Amino acid sequence: MKNFYNTFGSLSFLLLFLFVGSCKKEPEKALNFLKSTYRPDKHILQNNIDKLMAVGVPPKFCYYYYPSIEYTIGYPAGTDPQLLDRIARSVEEELSKAASILYLSYQQALNAYQSAQNNAFQLVTGAGFNYYPPTVYEPYQLCPGDDGYMALIDPCFQKMLVGNMARDSIIAAQNSTILTKTTNTSVEYGAEVKLVAPTSFSPYKSTTVRTDNATNNFNPKFTWSTTDGFTVGVSHGHPSNSAPSPADAIWLVSNINVPALRNASTEERNFFRSNVFVTVVASLHTYVITVNNWQALEKLYFEFKADEAGFNANYIRLTTEHGSSEHALLSLFGEAINLYKAPAGSTNFKPVGMAYGGTGDFVIEILCP
């Protein structure tokens, strides 16, 4: 597969409506055709392969995806254009479910495509029109060595790392205490996640759960030493049930120049960069965020520090606008972070991303096998 970036390089969603002239048949059977191509130009999965390097077992998966899906609707002359538009939009919503995702197997991609086509067929014929899918449609393959591959990691693999961390007995106990205390008091409780050694995923160091008695704030205390532990994360509760906040995402990059870490070895700094995370426990979900693109997140760090109030106001506006703090977080931080989500009390984390479709952008779960 070549030209991955060309395929996905454009930032805008493109939808082509080509009106083809009506058929030269007898009038009562004449059909016009609406030919359209669904193209999710901005793709969702751009993670960071060095997270996998950090644990030494980068998987070599090929991905499958659809850069576009074409379809044609045949409709009788005199059809209400608004009805046609409504049906075309519904079809695009269906197709976007299949075309906005990277698949880990050819079969998975094919199944999603066929299911989307079946739904589109039902929608179109249900409105009394004819539906014409393309006759042959193959998912594109993206494998190690192809252009664009290095921009990706397997989010399903990092999901396992996140799950392993959350299942560690020390971390699980911390998170459970944080959830209980935050729920019971409606103020944020939290604790740092610390390692005993600077570049090893375990053992973790037990940290006391505490509170600053604030409904919307918990101040982590970063340390990087044998005595106080090597802080690679922070867990805290959100009484409001919201996803990680801008300040939570900013925290990921905010300690890299704390003297103890600044003066640490390159190996330690790289380990930290690749593995720092924030966990938010709430009564509905547990979220974990990690850094996807360090430079991009650092840029946002400076924007945030320059105008914290403005940045937060924008976040609140987006949350209200889309009725979703996940949506607001991903809108602002996008490719700078990875977001994982599990039902409360579960460690079954799933990667969550943004897809771009006919009705605007929306939050989706990234499918794993």
The answer to whether 192 contacts Zn ion (rule: CB under 5 A) is no
Q: Which is nearer to Zn ion, 219 or 270 (CB)?
A: 219
Instruction: In angstroms, give the least distance from the CB of 245 to Zn ion.
Output: 5
Report if residue 254 touches Zn ion, rule: CB under 5 A: no
User: Is residue 245 close enough to count as binding Zn ion by CB under 5 A?
Assistant: yes
Looking at the Cβ atoms of 139 and 239, the one nearer to Zn ion is: 239
Beta-bridged to residue 140, according to DSSP, are: 65
CA distance 264 to 266: 7
Q: Segment 147-166, which members bind Zn ion (CB under 5 A)?
A: none
CB closest to Zn ion, residue no: 248
Taking CB under 5 A as the binding criterion, the range among 11-19, 237-245, 326-334, 360-368 that sits at the site for Zn ion is 237-245
Q: At its nearest, how many Å lie between Zn ion and the CB of residue 242?
A: 8
248 binds Zn ion (CB under 5 A): yes
Q: Which is nearer to Zn ion, 192 or 248 (CB)?
A: 248
Q: What's the closest the beta carbon of residue 175 comes to Zn ion, in angstroms?
A: 14
Q: For Zn ion, which stretch binds (CB under 5 A), given 101-109, 225-233, 240-248, 252-260?
A: 240-248
Which among 79-87, 129-137, 166-174, 243-251 is the span making contact with Zn ion, rule CB under 5 A?
A: 243-251
Taking the complex as a whole, the smallest distance from the CB of residue 118 to Zn ion amounts, in Å, to 42
3-state secondary structure the chain: CCCHHHHHCCCCCEEEEEEECCCCCCHHHCEEEEEEEEECCCCCCCCCCHHHHHHCCCCCCCEEECCCEEEEEEEECCCCHHHHHHHHHHHHHHHHHHHCCCECCHHHHHHHHHHHHHHHHHHHHHCCCEEECCCCCCCEEECCCCCCHHHCCCHHHHHHHHHHHHHCHHHHHHHHHHHHHHHHHCCCEEEEEEECCCCCCCCEECCCCEECCCCCCCCCCCCEECCCEEEEEEEEECCCCCCCCHHHHHHHHHCCCCHHHHCCCHHHHHHHHHHCEEEEECCCEEEEEEECCHHHHHHHHHHHHHCHHHHHHHHHHHHHHHCCHHHHHHHHHHHHEEEEEEECCCCCCEEEEEEEECCEEEEEECCCC
Q: Rule CB under 5 A: which of 211-230 touch Zn ion?
A: none
- By rule CB under 5 A, what count of residues binds Zn ion? 2
Piece of the chain touching Zn ion by CB under 5 A; list 147-155, 242-250, 281-289, 360-368: 242-250
Can residue 326 be called a binding residue for Zn ion (CB under 5 A)?
no
Tell the smallest beta-carbon distance from residue 218 to Zn ion (Å).
6
Q: Which residue, 215 or 295, has its beta carbon nearer to Zn ion?
A: 215
Residue closer to Zn ion by CB (options 262, 305) is: 305
Cα four-point dihedral sign 213, 219, 225, 231: positive
Q: Which is nearer to Zn ion, 43 or 236 (CB)?
A: 236
Q: Which is nearer to Zn ion, 271 or 311 (CB)?
A: 311
Q: What does the binding site for Zn ion look like in residue numbers (CB under 5 A)?
A: 245, 248
